[in-house]
Amino acid sequence: MGILLSYDVSTTHRIVKDELIKRGYLDFFVFQDHNYYLPNRTLWTDREGKTPEKVLTDLQLAIDHINQIRGKKITLERAVTVTFTQEMKQWAAIIGTPSVR
């Protein structure tokens, strides 16, 4: 089981994504020995104790940290989190390739 996070921010989404990756989020998940790479503003975590609510909090804390440390004015425009299990039978994906950094 894991949590899928999709979000939009006002500007410089790459900085937000990189900060969340530093905090243990992934831009892919593995299913049946294949890496499924996620869209640009979508991340995944299967870390113990995470809930959709905690993931939203992590997102806002990451944005707050960036704004404070880097002097940015990034705002969270919208976000959705959902509990996701790979055993669910009602999902589809295109495997994709890793994002260029």
pLDDT digits (tens, 9 = 90+) for 26-44: 999 888 898 999 999 999 9
pTM of the predicted structure, to 2 decimals: 0.88
Phi, psi of 22 (to 5 degrees): -60, -30
pLDDT digits (tens, 9 = 90+) for 58-81: 999 999 999 999 998 999 999 999
**Which domains does the chain carry?**
2-84 (3.30.70.2360)
pLDDT of residue 5: 97
Hey, what are 35's tokens?
A: 């890496």
